[in-house]
């Protein structure tokens, strides 16, 4: 099997003839770790090893060679860094903008969290976000500009459900409308690419209901 790894403006090619029942991170190890890349837990929990594998953003530690159709048909696997984030070196990128956008969107609790049992399943699902950046990589609109990306409604929908309605919650809603709602084209590529299986559509729908449609209802009522 041919392994193509993007390095700078070109690709390095390697030959691998071993077991295909291994992950991409294991493949890189067996090749002697020829390039720089981020990796930590190897269990699909930290999100550090997100990269583009055969054209799709995935976690390298959760992507098995035997499951890659391109490997099956053409005996080749192409590994590239996420393209929507600043490149550090080889396959390693700087995803700090994901955390910066959360600060900008004011996504934190300013009071003790309130617990609503009917929302527990939803909030648990949203808490699975790895901040890996796969959703942003897959999104046709995300380009490090004004659009903040799908991790924002995922995180914000949980916070505004746990905090009492306040000035802070209103700021979150206002920021969401400006940074996400006004830019999202509803392709839902974010949901298709999420390695944690989060329904970003549920998060977006909830944030739209609380931040946009509720305002329109009040305006219409008045």
> Percentage of residues in the chain with pLDDT exceeding 90?
82
Q: What is the pLDDT of residue 165?
A: 78
Secondary structure of residue 47 in the 3-state scheme: coil
Same fold, 2-92 and 95-221: no
In the predicted model, is pLDDT for residue 17 greater than 50?
Answer: yes
Q: Tell me the pLDDT of the chain averaged across its residues.
A: 92
Average pLDDT over residues 87-106: 97
Helix axes 151-162, 96-104, angle to 10 degrees: 40
Tokens 């054209």 locate to 55
Average pLDDT over residues 37-65: 96
Instruction: Give dist(CA 215, CA 221) in Å, integer.
Output: 10
User: How many Cβ atoms are within 10 Å of 69's Cβ, its own excluded?
Assistant: 8
Q: What is the pLDDT of residue 214?
A: 60
Average pLDDT over residues 180-201: 95
pTM over 0.95: no
CATH 1.10.1060.10 fits domain 95-221:
yes
DSSP 65-129: GGG-HHHHHHSEEEEE--SSS-EEETTEE--HHHHHHHHHTT-S-SSPPP--GGGHHHHHHHTT-
Per-residue tokens: 113: 């969290």
Q: What is the pLDDT of residue 48?
A: 97
Beta bridge partners of 196: none
Q: What is the pLDDT of residue 80?
A: 98
pLDDT in tens, 141-181: 999 889 999 999 999 999 998 987 789 999 999 999 999 99
| Better-scored residue on pLDDT, 165 or 54 | 54
DSSP 140-199: SS-SSSS---THHHHHHHHHHHHS-S-HHHHHHHHHHIIIIITT-----HHHHH-TT---
| Extents of the domains making up the chain | 2-92, 95-221
Fold of 2-92: Ubiquitin-like (UB roll) (3.10.20)
Q: What is the pLDDT of residue 222?
A: 46
Phi, psi of 113 (to 5 degrees): -65, 135
């Amino acid at each position: 099997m041919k392994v193509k790894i993007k390095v700078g403006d070109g690709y390095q090619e390697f030959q691998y003839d071993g077991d295909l029942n291994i992950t991409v991170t294991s493949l890189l190890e067996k090749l002697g770790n020829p390039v720089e890349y981020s990796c930590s837990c190897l269990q699909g929990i930290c999100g550090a090893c997100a990269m583009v594998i055969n054209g799709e953003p995935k976690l390298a530690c959760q992507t098995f060679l035997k499951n890659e159709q391109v490997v099956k048909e053409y005996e080749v696997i192409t590994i590239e860094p996420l393209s929507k984030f600043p490149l550090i070196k080889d396959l390693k990128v700087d995803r700090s903008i994901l955390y910066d956008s959360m600060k900008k969107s004011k996504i934190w609790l300013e009071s003790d969290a309130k617990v609503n049992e009917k929302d527990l399943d939803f909030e648990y699902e949203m808490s699975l976000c790895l901040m890996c950046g796969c959703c942003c990589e897959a999104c046709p609109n995300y380009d490090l500009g004004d659009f903040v990306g799908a991790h924002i409604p995922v995180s914000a929908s949980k916070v505004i459900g746990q905090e009492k309605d306040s000035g802070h919650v209103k700021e979150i809603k206002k920021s969401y409308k400006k940074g996400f709602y006004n830019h999202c084209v509803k392709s839902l590529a974010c949901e298709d690419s999420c390695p944690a299986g989060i329904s970003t559509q549920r998060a977006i729908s909830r944030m739209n209901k609380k931040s946009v449609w509720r305002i329109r209802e009040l305006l219409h009522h008045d």
